[in-house]
């Protein structure tokens, strides 16, 4: 057995290094209430033999690590403290310690420090995260395109038993680009085939023109969800992104889900609005999340459409490239202010350490993040990426994406 | 618990990076304004928590578990707990720009803004107009400085911590309610003049083709047997036409002293003696007045028109000296009218029944007050006001015209309206006249022309209030003589107001653009209001006064601040868009909405077993809603309104 407490700098081995002579420990299984796992409190019984000073030094080292763990939980920025454990001779798993304490044994004979070279027993009690993390595992590096010609990364060999965060390094292989927003969605259920998540206007022109004004009662683009896909969708919320090759400033864009029966549209659900143009709008627009189909799962034969509409007090025209949809609950949004990313420079999302940054000539903490990206063990994990460059969208851009994760398990 | 994210930006819109963990605790939406309040918990080290106090005035956005923004607004209060006490700062009650409104010499006045520029740079403008009551300008200015000193920086909060032993919290408000921090002023769209000295200008006085007008040359009186001269006042000018020798313009210097005719009928004691004597054995001639014209009827030799030279009870003398001797008759009749004295020389002239028809019109058949627009704007006139009263019972209308300028005179009529003359009171009042909004003004000279639609009358006419100190510098009052515009004898200016009108939704858009960042009007109100604002009401007060008026079709107007900080103004929907089921909102088909997404400002259908075709219970209007993020519970605030109102709506 390997059992260590460490913050990366100080390591106390509880499974054998002097003055430790013995240790009894086996991880507890976390409780689960309301679908949420609870932190785990457990105890390692450690036997130490040596001088009182040595024993006291070891105990103090453990207590200092626990103090650092508590400080971290109170908002400190010191490194996390982990318990590293392996039941056999293998690479250990780690679990973050939240707090802990050391107690002397209740048997006076096992705490007689006044003896010469005493043998004592202590209880090392900690509260840790409910999961264990394995060693960092590379998911490889692949190139993705910013659009229908290949924006999917497939991570289908994720191990463990729990969803795990991922570190994605999004490296620019081409000339400098000033990216701004990145959207990364995980089609965990592999609902969409290679390019099924891109939807196009059927039987209509992608370019529309309106005169005078237009409102949301005017369906500018009606995008029929393919029958097979519609039959597989179960009423979950799906994020909707729309890419335009041209769109005027100051139009308000909205996505809705509608059922069209005999040419008569029936609004099922509408999302919020985004304004295009100025500092807010752009050619790639995140139009929020909608239930698809709005009725929930109705099986084969389901027919519904995604409708895009504008509110504008003026006439104009716009050209829609496509709409991309992805499950909403597994989406990560990254945003940087538009700094130029040169060749081989990168945007890094490190879900393992819960940080994001720009990796340029130096590392810059200039990334905002919303949402959470998790990889699901035993699933396909098809990551769909889109990114814009401020108000513009360029489908010809590419990124080289390297993925790393630590498998998460409840038990090791 | 749902996974929510909080994003923060400082007042320069730069993202705030913090090691603190931000956890939304609860937030609320309202149907007017959208995001209303939010509370966000802070977890982290005490040193970092203190740093949160610097976030006041910054922007905040709460993002729901599926990436959809669910609340957005401004940080208005930040606090943290230490040693059982809560310490914090709040923008509530703060004011870094202060003015004082006060009364001085019976008039309202306001000081210039006193500003703490360091505070406004950090927190933006948070304004306060303090009302002081009666004060001198120096007192008011001192008060403004004093109040600014007290309020220029965020108010400190020190209180016993309630319910938490560590951490901190942010209280946030929506940008809609933050409009209460600013006062909205618009100097465009108002031209007005209210002088201090009251006078009245006569409008539409006169008569035509009278056979009973005489001119008393010796005493410069113009006489009229029916007492038509009543109403003329000193300094009024009148134009005489149709006379033999006295056509022209005359200035009244003395008003008529007699209101009604004096009739001595059956004057059996009256005798006549050459060349100018009239006597009365009954001693009743002293009811007449020297200088007035009178008519003698039913005599053998003296029927005609005469002017009293001297008057006594039993003996009088008259002009002209053509009285013939004649004894008393049983039905002699003497009728006296009235007269005004004029400044100009008159030629003695008597009426000639059947052959002489005299017309007298006062200057002021129309009034023209020119005025200057100099506010730099272009605006549509929706309303004018004058102070006016009627005399007698005019059977016509008062007409107000707004005219372009044509070489100093009224030109093309840009807009006009009429008011029924008989509806006006006999005591001067402010008459507000709504126009048709066809006149667009910009920096130029225009004319406000007031006239009557009917013929002039000596008994039924109008009087308009004027300032006889002529204190208006942007134009002048002129009177229409019947053939030309001329200056008033005593220079004056009309008391008047000209107001620009704009559609209420356009005003809301202007306010929101300045104080929120933008506006999108989805439903034009079709209802208009004055565009000028003195700046004594907050932007929020102004919008909350305009919104309830709704649309001209009777629809309710909603306003919601979007995630892009645009105020969306539109008519309230007529159909339900969500459903309330088992403590959750779903779409109409029953699929749960994203956690924390609150369909406020929508009709919400209820899954309750209450159904009555005459008074259906569902849907209900969701006027307000609070979401407890920690407990994942929703507290809907359905509007209390009649089921009959609800019954007119369609659930889908």
DSSP assignment letter at B149: H
Q: Which of A220-229, B95-104, B213-222 has the lowest mean pLDDT?
A: A220-229
**B522 closest CB neighbour out of A239, A269, A311:** A311
Read off the pLDDT of residues B280-319 as tens digits, 9 standing for 90 and up.
999 999 999 999 999 999 999 999 999 999 999 999 999 9
CB pairs under 8 A between A and B: 96
Please report where in the chains the tokens 């919601």 appear, as a residue.
B560
Compute the mean pLDDT over every residue in chain B, rounded to the nearest whole number: 92
Q: So what's the pLDDT on residue B161?
A: 87
Q: How far is the C-alpha of A168 from the C-alpha of A149, rounded, in Å?
A: 20
Read off the pLDDT of residues B426-478 as tens digits, 9 standing for 90 and up.
999 999 999 999 999 999 999 999 999 999 999 999 999 999 999 999 999 99
Read off the pLDDT of residues B319-358 as tens digits, 9 standing for 90 and up.
999 999 999 988 999 999 999 999 999 999 999 999 999 9
- Average pLDDT in the A331-359 region? 91
- Average pLDDT in the B162-188 region? 92
Task: Report yes or no on whether pTM surpasses 0.80.
Answer: yes
B69 touches A at CB < 8 Å: yes
Find residues 3-22 of chain B whose CB sits inside 8 Å of chain A: 3, 5, 7, 15, 17, 19-21
Rg (CA), chain B: 38
- Chain B partners within 8 Å of A311 (Cβ): 520, 522
Q: So what's the pLDDT on residue B644?
A: 40
Give me the residues paired with residue A305 across strands.
A224, A258
B68 touches A at CB < 8 Å: yes
Q: So what's the pLDDT on residue B643?
A: 40
Contact at CB, B563 and A77, closer than 8 angstroms: no
Whether the ω angle into residue A19 lies within 30 degrees of 0, i.e. cis, is yes
Helix (H, G, I), strand (E, B) or coil at B19: coil
Q: How far is the C-alpha of A72 from the C-alpha of A64, rounded, in Å?
A: 12
Q: What's the pLDDT band for A77 if we cut at 50, 70, 90?
A: confident
Q: At what angle do helices B539-546 and B504-515 cross, to 10 degrees?
A: 150
HEC states along chain A? CEEEEECCCCEEECCCCCCEEEEECCCCCCCEECCEECCEEEEEEEEEECCHHHHHHHHHHHHHHHHHHHHHHCCCCCCCCEEEEECCCCCCEEEEEEEEEEEECCCHHHCCCCCCCCEEEEEEEEEECCCEECCCEEEEEEEEECCCCCCEEECCCCCECECEEEEEEEECCCCCECCCEEEEEEECCCCCCCCCCEECCCCCCCEEEECCCECCCCCCEEEECCHHHHHHCCCEEEEEEEEEEECCCCEEEEEEEEEEECCEEEEEEEEEEEEECCCCCCCEEEEEEEEECCCCCCCCCCCCEEEEEEEECCCEEEEEEEEEEEEHHHEEEEEECCCCECCCCEEEEECCCCEEEEECCCEECCEEEEECCEECCCCCCEEEEEECECCECCCCCEEEEEEEECCEECCC
Does the pLDDT of residue B584 top 60, yes or no? yes
**B17 closest CB neighbour out of A237, A274, A365:** A365
Burial category of B261 from C-beta neighbours within 10 Å (exposed 0-12, middle 13-18, buried 19 and up): middle
Residue B398, Cβ neighbours under 10 Å: how many? 25
Does the pLDDT of residue B28 top 70, yes or no? yes
Contact at CB, A75 and B69, closer than 8 angstroms: no
- Chain A partners within 8 Å of B19 (Cβ): 75, 77
Enclosing H/E stretch for B328: none
Give me the residues paired with residue B429 across strands.
B388
Q: What's the pLDDT band for B616 if we cut at 50, 70, 90?
A: low
Q: So what's the pLDDT on residue B546?
A: 95
Gap between the terminal Cα atoms of chain B: 32
Q: So what's the pLDDT on residue B373?
A: 97
Q: Which of A69-78, B240-249, B413-422 has the lowest mean pLDDT?
A: A69-78
Read off the pLDDT of residues A169-198 as tens digits, 9 standing for 90 and up.
999 999 999 988 999 999 988 777 777 889
Q: So what's the pLDDT on residue B27?
A: 97
Q: So what's the pLDDT on residue A47?
A: 95
Least Cα separation, residue B543 to chain A (angstroms)? 22
Q: Which of B6, B49, B66 to mutate to test the interface with A (most CBs of A within 10 A)?
A: B66
| CB-CB contact of A100 with A14 (8 Å) | no
Q: So what's the pLDDT on residue B651?
A: 42
Q: How far is the C-alpha of B444 from the C-alpha of B17, rounded, in Å?
A: 55
* β pairing state of A207-210 and A316-327: antiparallel
B44 touches A at CB < 8 Å: yes
Contact at CB, A275 and B566, closer than 8 angstroms: yes
Q: So what's the pLDDT on residue B197?
A: 64
Contact at CB, B68 and A328, closer than 8 angstroms: yes
Residue A173, Cβ neighbours under 10 Å: how many? 11
Q: Kindly identify which residue of chain A lies nearest to residue B590, measuring between CA atoms.
A: A295
Q: How far is the C-alpha of B524 from the C-alpha of B505, rounded, in Å?
A: 6
Burial B416-435 (b: 16+ CB within 10 A, else e): bbebebeebeeebeebebeb
- Average pLDDT in the B405-428 region? 96
Residue B612, Cβ neighbours under 10 Å: how many? 9
**A75 closest CB neighbour out of B20, B67, B587:** B20
Q: What's the pLDDT band for B619 if we cut at 50, 70, 90?
A: confident
- Chain A partners within 8 Å of B518 (Cβ): 275
Q: What's the pLDDT band for B642 if we cut at 50, 70, 90?
A: very low
Q: So what's the pLDDT on residue A279?
A: 45
- What distances in angstroms separate CA B377 from CA B189, B442, B444, one per listed residue? 7, 6, 11
Contact at CB, B45 and A75, closer than 8 angstroms: yes
Does the pLDDT of residue B587 top 60, yes or no? yes
Q: How far is the C-alpha of B618 from the C-alpha of B581, rounded, in Å?
A: 12
Does the pLDDT of residue B518 top 80, yes or no? yes
What the block records as the tokens of B298 is: 């039913």
Does the pLDDT of residue B2 top 50, yes or no? no
Q: How far is the C-alpha of B86 from the C-alpha of B166, rounded, in Å?
A: 9
B142 touches A at CB < 8 Å: no
Q: So what's the pLDDT on residue B611?
A: 56
Q: What's the pLDDT band for B1 if we cut at 50, 70, 90?
A: very low
Q: What's the pLDDT band for B608 if we cut at 50, 70, 90?
A: low
Contact at CB, A272 and B7, closer than 8 angstroms: no
Contact at CB, A286 and B67, closer than 8 angstroms: yes
B594 touches A at CB < 8 Å: yes
B376 touches A at CB < 8 Å: no
Q: So what's the pLDDT on residue A338?
A: 81
Does the pLDDT of residue A92 top 90, yes or no? yes
DSSP assignment letter at B326: B
Burial category of B38 from C-beta neighbours within 10 Å (exposed 0-12, middle 13-18, buried 19 and up): buried
Q: Kindly identify which residue of chain B lies nearest to residue A238, measuring between CA atoms.
A: B66
Read off the pLDDT of residues B359-405 as tens digits, 9 standing for 90 and up.
999 999 999 999 999 999 999 999 999 999 999 999 999 999 999 99
Q: Which of A245-259, B71-85, B635-649 has the lowest mean pLDDT?
A: B635-649
């Amino acid at each position: 057995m390997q059992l260590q407490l460490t913050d990366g700098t100080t390591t106390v081995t509880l499974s054998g290094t002097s003055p430790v002579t013995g240790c009894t420990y086996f991880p507890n299984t976390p409780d689960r209430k309301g679908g949420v796992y609870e932190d785990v409190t457990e105890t390692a019984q450690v036997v130490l033999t040596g001088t009182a000073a040595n024993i006291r030094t070891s105990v103090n080292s453990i207590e200092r690590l626990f103090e650092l763990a508590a400080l971290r939980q109170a908002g400190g920025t010191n490194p996390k403290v982990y318990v590293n454990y392996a039941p056999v001779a293998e690479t250990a798993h780690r679990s973050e310690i939240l707090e802990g304490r050391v107690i002397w044994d209740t048997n006076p004979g096992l705490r007689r420090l006044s003896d010469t070279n005493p043998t004592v027993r202590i209880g090392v009690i900690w509260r840790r995260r409910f999961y264990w993390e394995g060693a960092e595992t590379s998911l490889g590096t692949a190139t993705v395109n910013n659009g229908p010609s290949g924006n999917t990364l497939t991570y289908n060999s994720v191990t463990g038993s729990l969803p795990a965060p991922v570190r994605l390094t999004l490296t620019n292989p081409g000339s400098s680009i000033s990216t701004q927003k990145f959207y990364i969605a995980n089609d965990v259920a592999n609902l969409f085939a290679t390019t099924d998540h891109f939807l196009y206007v059927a039987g209509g022109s992608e370019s529309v023109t309106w005169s005078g004004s237009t409102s949301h009662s005017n369906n500018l683009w009606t995008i029929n969800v393919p029958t097979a896909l519609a039959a597989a969708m179960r009423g979950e919320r799906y994020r909707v992104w729309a890419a335009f090759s041209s769109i005027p400033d100051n139009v308000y864009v909205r996505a809705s889900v509608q059922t069209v029966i005999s040419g008569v549209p029936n609004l099922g659900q509408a999302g919020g609005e985004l304004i295009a143009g100025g500092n807010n709008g752009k050619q790639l627009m995140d139009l929020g999340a909608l239930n698809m189909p709005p009725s929930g799962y109705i099986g084969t034969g389901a027919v519904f459409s995604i409708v895009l509409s504008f509110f504008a007090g003026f006439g104009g025209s716009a050209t829609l490239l496509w709409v991309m949809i992805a499950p909403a609950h597994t989406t990560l949004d990254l945003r940087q202010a538009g700094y130029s990313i040169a060749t081989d420079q990168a945007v890094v999302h490190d879900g393992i350490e819960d940080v994001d940054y720009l990796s340029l000539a130096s590392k810059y903490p200039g990334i905002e993040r919303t949402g959470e990206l998790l990889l699901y063990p035993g699933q396909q994990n098809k990551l769909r990426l889109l990114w814009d460059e401020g108000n513009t969208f360029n489908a010809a851009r590419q990124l080289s994406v390297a993925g790393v994760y630590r498998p998460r398990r409840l038990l090791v | 618990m749902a996974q929510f994210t909080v994003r923060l930006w400082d007042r320069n819109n730069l993202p705030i990076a913090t090691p603190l963990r931000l956890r939304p605790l609860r937030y609320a939406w309202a149907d007017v304004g959208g995001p209303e309040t939010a509370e966000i918990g802070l977890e982290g080290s005490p040193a970092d928590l203190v740093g949160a106090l610097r976030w006041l005035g910054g922007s905040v956005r709460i993002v729901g578990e599926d990436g959809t923004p669910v609340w957005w607004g401004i940080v208005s209060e930040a606090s943290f707990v230490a040693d059982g006490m809560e310490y914090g700062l709040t923008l509530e009650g703060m004011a870094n720009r202060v003015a004082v409104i006060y009364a001085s010499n019976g008039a309202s006045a306001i000081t210039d803004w006193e500003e703490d520029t360091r505070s406004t740079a950090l927190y933006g403008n948070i304004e306060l107009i303090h009302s002081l009551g009666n004060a001198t300008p120096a007192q008011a200015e001192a008060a403004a400085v004093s109040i600014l000193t007290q309020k220029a920086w965020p108010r400190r909060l020190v209180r016993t911590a309630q319910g938490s032993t560590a951490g901190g919290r942010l209280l946030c408000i929506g940008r809609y309610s933050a409009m209460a921090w600013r006062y909205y002023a618009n100097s465009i769209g108002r031209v007005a003049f209210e002088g201090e000295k009251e006078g009245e200008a006569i409008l539409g006085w006169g008569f035509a083709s009278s056979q009973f007008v005489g001119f008393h040359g010796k005493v410069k009186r113009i006489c009229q047997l029916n007492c038509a001269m009543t109403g003329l006042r000193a300094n009024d000018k009148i134009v005489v036409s149709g006379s033999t020798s006295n056509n022209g313009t005359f200035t009244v210097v003395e008003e008529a002293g007699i209101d009604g005719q004096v009739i001595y009928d059956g004057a059996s004691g009256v005798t006549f003696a050459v060349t100018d004597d009239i006597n009365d054995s009954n001693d009743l001639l002293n009811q007449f007045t020297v200088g007035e014209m009178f008519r003698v009827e039913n005599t053998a030799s003296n029927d005609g028109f005469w002017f009293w030279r001297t008057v006594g009870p039993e003996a009088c003398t008259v002009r002209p000296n053509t009285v013939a001797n004649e004894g008393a008759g049983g039905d002699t009749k003497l009728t006296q009218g009235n007269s005004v004295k004029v400044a100009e020389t008159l030629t003695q002239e008597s009426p000639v029944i059947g052959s002489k028809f005299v017309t007298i019109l006062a200057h002021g058949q129309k009034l023209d007050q020119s005025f200057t627009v100099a506010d730099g704007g272009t605006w549509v006139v929706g309303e004018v006001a004058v102070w006016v009263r009627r005399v007698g019972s005019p059977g016509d209308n008062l007409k107000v015209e707004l005219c372009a300028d044509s070489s100093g005179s009224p030109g093309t009529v840009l807009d006009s309206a009429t008011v029924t003359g008989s509806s006006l009171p006999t005591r001067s009042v402010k008459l507000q006249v709504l126009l048709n909004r066809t006149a667009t003004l910009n920096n130029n000279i225009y004319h406000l022309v007031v006239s009557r639609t009917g013929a002039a009358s000596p008994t039924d006419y109008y009087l308009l209030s004027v300032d006889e100190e002529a204190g208006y510098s942007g134009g002048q009052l002129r009177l229409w003589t019947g053939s030309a515009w001329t200056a008033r004898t005593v220079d004056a200016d009309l008391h008047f107001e000209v107001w620009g009108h704009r559609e209420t939704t356009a005003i809301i858009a202007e306010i929101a653009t300045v104080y929120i960042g933008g506006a999108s009007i989805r439903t034009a109100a079709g209802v208009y209001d004055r565009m000028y604002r003195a700046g004594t009401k907050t932007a929020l007060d102004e919008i909350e006064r305009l919104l309830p008026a709704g649309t001209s079709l009777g629809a309710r107007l909603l306003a919601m601040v979007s995630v892009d900080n645009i105020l969306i103004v539109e008519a309230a929907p007529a159909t339900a868009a969500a459903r309330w089921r088992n403590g959750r909102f779903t779409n109409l088909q029953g699929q749960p909405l994203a956690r924390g997404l609150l369909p406020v400002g929508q009709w919400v259908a209820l899954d309750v077993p209450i159904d009555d075709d005459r008074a259906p219970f569902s849907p209900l209007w969701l006027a307000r809603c609070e979401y407890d993020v920690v407990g994942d519970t929703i507290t809907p605030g359905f509007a209390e309104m009649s089921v009959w109102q609800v019954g007119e709506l369609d659930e889908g």
